[in-house]
Structure 1
Amino acid sequence: MIQSISLPLYSDTLREYRDWADLQQEVRALGCDGIEAIWGGEAIPEELPAGLVQGYHLMFFHDWVDLWNGNWPALKEKYGTLEQASAVYGGLGRETLLRQYRDDLERAKRLGAEYVVFHVSDVSMEECFTYRFSHTNDQVITAAVELINELLPGKQWPFAFLVENQWWPGFTFTDPRQTERLLDGIRYANKGILLDTGHLMNCCTELRSQSEGAAYISAMLDRHGSLSAMIRGVHFHQSLSGPYVQSHTGRLPEEWPEEFGQRFSINYAHVLQIDQHRPWTDPAILPVLERIAPTWLTHELTSRARAERVQAVEIQQILLRKRENIP
């Protein structure tokens, strides 16, 4: 199992390390083989060492299906004007999305990533609070398959293309029919699933303990049967946000600003409360992980700085070392 640390290629984060050797040494000390990188919106350093990047998390727009489908009235309602929508997306129309994803795939190729991760979900800022969604899982999957099948053909990409589950409309890994339709629809041989354990837990707001979360993940594997063999990677973290979701969703905040940036800030803080990215400490998850047997495992954990990142990964590595005692 190849292990990585999730790390943005962003100057503020990279400055926490003296140099590339310092980062590589820390990765090895934490029992990992490299990083799962995500672009930070800046030029990628030319001197980034070969082999450091094991995987690459593609950029994502949380709310993109209306743009893909050309639903201009919906975009006007969300952003006030199409000019504001264009400023957010970098343009209007399908080619806007395709161009940006193609550029990101080229970054992944240049960095030598063994796999890339693609979110299959769609949710507006308002829907993050109301939980009243304008698109169904099937509608989002249809749009995602269209986008992926326009994005990937025409080049010999050197990496696996893995779809990641969310708890928003799209691919949730709770409905085998939808999972199968997504995978069957993607015309790319080297494909699979990147199962995010915390995102899957977010689908069930009744969970109150890590052991319950592990049992829920196991139940979803049972439900998917042979489809579970398509899981090739795992984002390893846990999230028990059910009480927060039950008390903070179903309506917009009383003060919901008109200005896009202010709404985004409020929404971002809200989503972080739902998607907690905390370390696993309960060994109940270990048989589930052994059952999945992923090729790649990424420690995708919340941290504000280097020391917190190290501490969070160390907690999970202590747990993973207990796998030797699994019957």
Structure 2
Amino acid sequence: MQQLANITVTPKPGHLFDSWSSAGQWLSNMSLSGFEIYPHGELNAEDIPAKLVGGFHLQSFPILTPLLYNDSARLMKIFGDWQTVEQFYGGTDADHIVNTMVSQLNLAAKLNAPYAVFHPMDCDMEHLFSQNFPWTLDDTFTACAELLNLALKRSNFKGWLLLENMWWKQSFRLDSRQEYDDLRSRINYAKCGICFDTGHMMATNNSITDESGAISFLQNRLHQLDLSSEIKTLHLNSNLKNHSLQKDSTGEKSRNKQSQASYQNCDGFWAQFDVALQHISGLDPHNGFQCEDLSHLIETINPNYLVHEVAQNDINEWQQSIRLQQACLSPVADLFEWKQYA
């Protein structure tokens, strides 16, 4: 099993390194095999040292269907004008999304990335807080499969396409084995698998209050799904902070009012987007596991790649979170030893 860290590439390696040389030295110091990279914008493979690439995360289009289906009415309702549409997506029609996905898959191929992660989801601003999305899971799967099939057909990518579990309703949450089998059957590509995100799975359960309960829930869900053999990559992070944000005890009408009130003082899409990002950060904080023995969970999944996908507010906090998780992968005695000098 290779252990990785995730970074956004612009082509600069994230926001905490001044060069790829320093990023590579950091990997060595942290006993990590490479980075799972998330490319942003148009990049050339020559700008990224392939030897440091351990995995690839495709660009996410969380508000997918309005542009994929060239739905001008929905686009104008959400964004207000075409300039904002272009600023958000990078283009103004469905061809742009498909071309972006083709370009990213080809970049992954040039960098010899063994896998590429995809977010099978659809969301919008209006229903973000309530999650009462006016479409079905089948609608989301249809759109995601259409995009992937169009892009894969035109790309040179031969690695694993990994579907990452999300927490949004009417998206790929892995609430059941049938979800994976259904989506997998729609994708015309042989090497499909799962990227299992522990924090995203925790976000689907409102009752988790501590790491011990989280591990029990994750183990039980994995047993229920019987999909461990399909999991090629594990995104390891905890989701306990601000977990009360997910409580669903206020009722549907109150949640709809919350959605409307949240944007009440916002002037335009970008102000709404800032509010939405703050809400999402509370739902998916990317904290690291700190004290529980994770060795049995890792044995159950047995992934080829483990990505320490934790918050990167500053280099010291990032390093400490990863080292704590690394200690949690070993027997409990090793964790106690680590805490003596952490």
TM-score with structure 1 setting the length: 0.90
Matched with 2:320 is 311
Distance 1:245 1:14, change over 3 A: closer
Matched positions, count: 324
What is the identity, as a one-letter code, of the residue corresponding to 1:292?
I
Q: Percent identity?
A: 26
Matched with 1:261 is 270
Matched with 2:104 is 104
The 1-side partners of 2:37 and 2:114 are apart by: 11
Matched with 1:272 is 281
Q: Structure 2: 5+ residue runs without aligned partners? A: 335-342
Q: Is the 8 A contact 1:138 1:178 kept in 2?
A: no
What are the Cα deviations for residues 76-103 of structure 1, in whole angstroms up to 9, with x where unaligned?
2212245543443233432121011111
Higher alpha-carbon deviation: 80-89 or 107-116? 80-89
What is the identity, as a one-letter code, of the residue corresponding to 2:90?
G
Partner SS for 1:51: helix
Give runs of aligned pairs for residues 171-320 of structure 1, distance below 5 A. 171-225=172-226, 227-240=227-240, 241-246=242-247, 250=255, 251-252=258-259, 253=262, 255-320=264-329
The 2-side partners of 1:211 and 1:89 are apart by: 40
User: How far apart are residue 176 of structure 1 and its match?
Assistant: 1.7
User: How far apart are residue 299 of structure 1 and its match?
Assistant: 0.6
Q: Structure 1: 5+ residue runs without aligned partners? A: none
What are the Cα deviations for residues 191-216 of structure 1, in whole angstroms up to 9, with x where unaligned?
10000110011111221111221222
User: How far apart are residue 19 of structure 1 and its match?
Assistant: 4.1
Moved segments of 4+, more than 6 Å? none
Matched with 2:337 is none
The 2-side partners of 1:262 and 1:14 are apart by: 25
User: How far apart are residue 156 of structure 1 and its match?
Assistant: 4.1
Higher alpha-carbon deviation: 60-69 or 144-153? 60-69
Q: Tell me whether 1:52 sits opposite 2:61 in the alignment.
A: no
The 2-side partners of 1:205 and 1:119 are apart by: 22
Q: Is the 8 A contact 1:72 1:82 kept in 2?
A: no
Q: Is the 8 A contact 2:56 2:113 kept in 1?
A: yes
Matched with 1:161 is 161
TM-score with structure 2 setting the length: 0.86
Q: Tell me whether 1:91 sits opposite 2:100 in the alignment.
A: no
What are the Cα deviations for residues 160-207 of structure 1, in whole angstroms up to 9, with x where unaligned?
110111011311111221211011221111110000110011111221
